[in-house]
Structure 1
Amino acid sequence: MQTNNIRSLVFIALFAALFIVMSSLTIKLGGSFVPITLQTLAVALAGLFLTPRNAFLSIFIVIVLAAFGLPLFSGQGGIAHLTGPTGGFIFAFPFCALLVSLAVGAFLRSSGSKGNKIIAFIAFFIIFELFSSLCAYIPGIPWLMQGYDLTFQKAMIAGFYPFIIGDALKSLAGTILAISLTPYIVYIRSSTASSRAEKSSFNAQSHS
């Protein structure tokens, strides 16, 4: 159990660092208040490789550190930035990672994940597109509307429509990694599982 805890801390820190790095890679779009980043890909990967609790913590810890002023979101930090117009997206990310992890775990334990790469490809893509990308817009768009005093349509133009293709490409990249690294994903999730039942379910998947 102690070994699992140490491994969990290592992977939480690793994916927190990955999220920070991917947050720093930004592209500003003209007319958009929200920059393009690789944050949602980092969220997808955290949910892919980590158990739900660890996936949530790997992103949440970055928010906590940023709240103390560390410039972890595209070179910015502090309470003012976290509660600013893009705060809805930021606070959604830990929950997105949690949902991705829950969905990935359910799929890996299902019969559909065994041997059929087409089904696996479709399932992983839908999981990433739905939970790591689209779910972030649910709080993100209303928060953006409030922060910049925008109508719903203007908020969608500024904070959603320009990102649809990019989100799909990031989901595709995550899907390719998921298909290519499935045995390693199962092993990592099993080695950091917090309960014996969860560990046994992943071990059963790895031997199927």
Structure 2
Amino acid sequence: MRCIPISLSTLVLVTGAAMAAPPPTQPPRVAAEQLLIESPANTDIGGSASQRFAQVFQLPADGYLSHVMVPANCASARVLRVEIERTTAGVPNGVVVARQDVPGPALNAYGYPVPGMRMIEFIQPALLSRGEYAFTLTVSALRRNEYCMLWLAPAGDTYLSGKAYFIARGNPPNWIELFDAAGTPRDLAFQVFVRPL
């Protein structure tokens, strides 16, 4: 029988690979949510104003980000991009820790009077430590008529652990807290799911 020599570096690589822990297989659990939706209060993601939205949320424990749910209908958008960002002083700071693009037609179901929550599943779940994050919603429109319709939460601070923000053409190029016409803050309707460790 012929023996094949194994170098020390090969042994270290094999041993290291065997010790790497796979992502957990536990079912995802709701880590943050605000379920109230007001009808017919809706707005556009993308469109002529190139609007973007963000919602700051708190993760109570470490885990793998599984998916985000939002009440959106994207029949007119090519792609809806959802990013998870870190925050500074309660505002998204542009440091992206997870990203997922979803074809607009996949989010085309429409209920009455609101579309209901649509799932954006992260193909590569990010391991996040407990703390504050934000998800952002973007449609990169090549044409002005590319947009997703987004339904909003009722007026008031319906999610106490974070605020909603927007950016739109014609306003300063930074995140602005989301208010209704009467100057009352609004949050987004959402759910964030995490697979616990």
TM-score (norm 1): 0.30
Q: What TM-score do the two structures reach when normalised by structure 2?
A: 0.31
Q: Larger Cα Rg: Structure 1 or Structure 2?
A: 2
Richer in helix (by share): 1
Q: Higher relative CO (CA 8 A, sep ≥ 6), structure 1 or 2?
A: 2
Judging by fraction of residues, say which structure has more strand.
Answer: 2
